[in-house]
Amino acid sequence: MDKKMRGGPRPFRSLNSWFTHEGFLSMVKEKWRGLGELPFTDKLKALTIPLERWHKANFGEMDKKITKFEEEIKRIDDMVSNGVYHEMLEARRKMLVSCCERWYVRKEVHWKQMSRSRHAKETDKNTRYFHNIASARRQNNIIDTLVINGRQVRNQARIKIAIKEFYKNLYQQEVSLMMGFRDGLVSKIDEGDALTLEELPSAEEIREAIWDCESSKAPGCDGYNMNFIKRCWGSFRHPDYR
């Protein structure tokens, strides 16, 4: 999609395909430790920078990588057809086929996630289908025109500002309503129950809540889905949340 139509760079999103790379979890653990003693949510935000760099270095241009492997496999097949054969050549072909298959798996996992298809299953193998769903959904999500104060606006910058202000005002209203509800509720129950309601959840309660969530869902706007949190739980190494 054209960057101008998107209205800016793509937001960060954790990808399930990253876990097909044997060095991914060790990289996450190393980068997480290197971020020091920041609060958990701040560390997650800071982690997006090395994750994006790692993605670009290891998962960028998947189609070009697959094409390169396929072209070299074809060259070897042509050599064998012309009577050239030795064990090193056969070993090279097996290695290339293995690498090519690995990238096909990564591509399928990627486009299943991008499509958000409710019919996607682990055994499904139709990358073109999931790619088409993802492309159609992306096109449907484009806001190229918005009515602001009774006028149609097509300027992407003005549209972004209007949307941001709308939700900012909406959330401020919700916070005010919740605070009023809380104050009214506390005045109707005894102090002990009020304190219980305000207690922070235990580490086990947090873990159980996370594992009860559907893995493809992203509970916040930070771009991390629950699959990432579950799979990297051990890498975070927080003494209270093991």
Q: Residue 33: pLDDT above 70?
A: yes
Helix (H) or strand (E) segment spanning residue 151: strand 151-153
Torsion of CA 196, 198, 203, 207, to 10 degrees: 100
Query: Over pLDDT 90: what percentage of the chain?
Result: 23
Whole-number pLDDT of residue 140:
56
Residue 180 pLDDT level (bands cut at 50, 70, 90): low
What is the number of other CB atoms lying within 10 angstroms of the CB of residue 104? 15
